[in-house]
Amino acid sequence: MNSMILAFRTSPIVTLFLFSLLLLTGCGADDGKKISAPLPEKPLTGVAGDGNLRHIVDYIRIDAGLPALAAALVHNGQIVEMAATGFRKINSNINVTIEDKWHLGSLTKSMTSTLAAMLVKQGVIHWNTTIAEVYPELSGVMNSKYENVQLEQLLSHTSGMRANLPTVNSYQTSPLDIEAQRQKMVEEALILNPEVESGEFLYSNLGYMVAGAMMERVTSTSWEALLESHLFTSLAMTNSGFGIPDVLDNLSQPVGHLSQGSGWNANNTDNPAVMGPAGVVHSSLEDMGNYIIAHLMGARGNDVTGLLTAAEFSKLHTATGNSDYALGWAISDSTISHNGSNTKWLANIKIFPEKNTALFIVTNAADLQKEQNSKSYKAIAELTDELVQRAAIAFAN
């Protein structure tokens, strides 16, 4: 069985985008390890800020059998409440904390698009900058259908580019530095045939990888350094980084878990770094609170000092004509949202502009291949409902 990088858009119909990435180990008919804690009495929904969120999170986590679960709720420019319960690794005795860092998967895409908007604001690149303009040396080499593909099309999944790079596994052990890896990736990507026609929606990790490489080329700076110096610094996201949070592999941070049977196996690996712009950021709850506050403010028509104007946020939050996807965000009548997973974590952002409220929820386990029987997805959906109700009661006036 193959592992998958996964990202899916939260819309009236939840759509899954899967692709094979790494060979799973230890995945057979036998069950993985399970949560064996007794289920406490179900707590009342309560009111946002009442101090009861931790009990709600813990109940949902234990009921779903997840190693850990965490959430942050913001309203009107403030982090109202945060909670994290469970364990950094299943069957360990090391509890997660609200200071811990969590893998974001494809939530990274909204950050890559936000970075693009900041660079457009500076005039170093434009939404209509084409691949051929950034890589003129590849004209006549690349597939001609890509020459006029624009940055905006890559970030809205309408470039025609296929979902993933077939050779991405080879980058896991590449001796090249990250910028050289992305240059090589672009050269490989641009000779491929498009999967759909330009202008047609197809969720594409590869499109975001190419977009990140374009930003690197025009700034002579790695995507990682750009994200740190622009987004992380502007929003005081001091506990955010790239790849697995537990980089020392000593349980100083949570680790991800793969589904096995009705249980879980810890797996402290990630996608190749070359995929960075599509999904390798990790962040703390507070950092994510700062991030969703900024996008909530922008969605409500406010400028965010040091980041973007209301009009620039509107560009990010406006769906393309033929889909409900904007630039790094899924759009519905009442929400701006995105989910993300590297198959070992599951994270969700949901922004309610009219309610002046937003939330971030994450678990260090994912079983989305089980679709409607996914424990991780059900837990996040249930906790989302609880947070929405808590906020509605607290901020009714």
In this predicted model, what pLDDT tens digit does every residue of 192-214 receive, in sequence order? 999 999 999 999 999 999 999 99
State residue 12's pLDDT score: 31
Residues 137, 159: one domain?
yes
User: Is 389 inside any structural domain?
Assistant: yes
Least confident of 2-16, 26-40, 185-199, 271-285: 2-16
Residues 379, 313: one domain?
yes
Q: Which of 166, 193, 224 is the last residue of a domain?
A: 224
Residues 362, 342: one domain?
yes
Residues 193, 290: one domain?
no
CA distance 168 to 271: 9
How open is the CA angle 233-238-360, to the nearest 5 degrees?
A: 100
Residues 7, 100: one domain?
yes
Looking at residues 304-323, what average pLDDT do you find?
95
Q: Which residues contact 177 (CB under 8 A, 6 or more apart)?
A: none
What's the domain range around 320? Answer: 2-107+241-394
Looking at residues 13-38, what average pLDDT do you find?
52
Residue 346 has pLDDT above 90, yes or no: yes
User: Is 30 inside any structural domain?
Assistant: yes
> For the segment 220-243, what is each residue's pLDDT rounded down to a tens digit?
999 999 999 999 999 999 999 999
CATH of the domain at 80: 3.40.710.10
Residue 2 has pLDDT above 70, yes or no: no
Residues 125, 264: one domain?
no
Q: Which of 224, 259, 287 is the last residue of a domain?
A: 224
State residue 30's pLDDT score: 61
The pTM of the full predicted model, rounded to 2 decimals, is: 0.94
CA distance 304 to 295: 9
> For the segment 251-286, what is each residue's pLDDT rounded down to a tens digit?
999 999 999 998 999 999 999 999 999 999 999 999
Residue 3 has pLDDT above 90, yes or no: no
Q: What is the DSSP string of 62-97?
A: HHHT-SEEEEEEEETTEEEEEEEEEBSSTT-S-B--
Percent pLDDT > 90 in the chain is 89
Residues 126, 248: one domain?
no
**DSSP state for residue 177 in the 8-state scheme:** -
Average pLDDT, the chain: 92
Structural domain tally of the chain?
2
User: Is 348 inside any structural domain?
Assistant: yes
State residue 321's pLDDT score: 79
User: Is 58 inside any structural domain?
Assistant: yes
Residues 196, 273: one domain?
no
User: Is 216 inside any structural domain?
Assistant: yes
User: Is 235 inside any structural domain?
Assistant: no
User: Is 229 inside any structural domain?
Assistant: no
Residues 91, 215: one domain?
no
Residues 93, 216: one domain?
no
Q: Which of 196, 224, 252 is the last residue of a domain?
A: 224
User: Is 24 inside any structural domain?
Assistant: yes
Residue 298 has pLDDT above 70, yes or no: yes
Residues 103, 176: one domain?
no
Residues 371, 276: one domain?
yes
Residue 69 has pLDDT above 60, yes or no: yes
Give the closest residue to 81 by CA, choosing from 131, 113, 47, 104: 47
> For the segment 92-147, what is each residue's pLDDT rounded down to a tens digit?
999 999 999 999 999 999 999 999 999 999 999 999 999 999 999 999 999 999 99
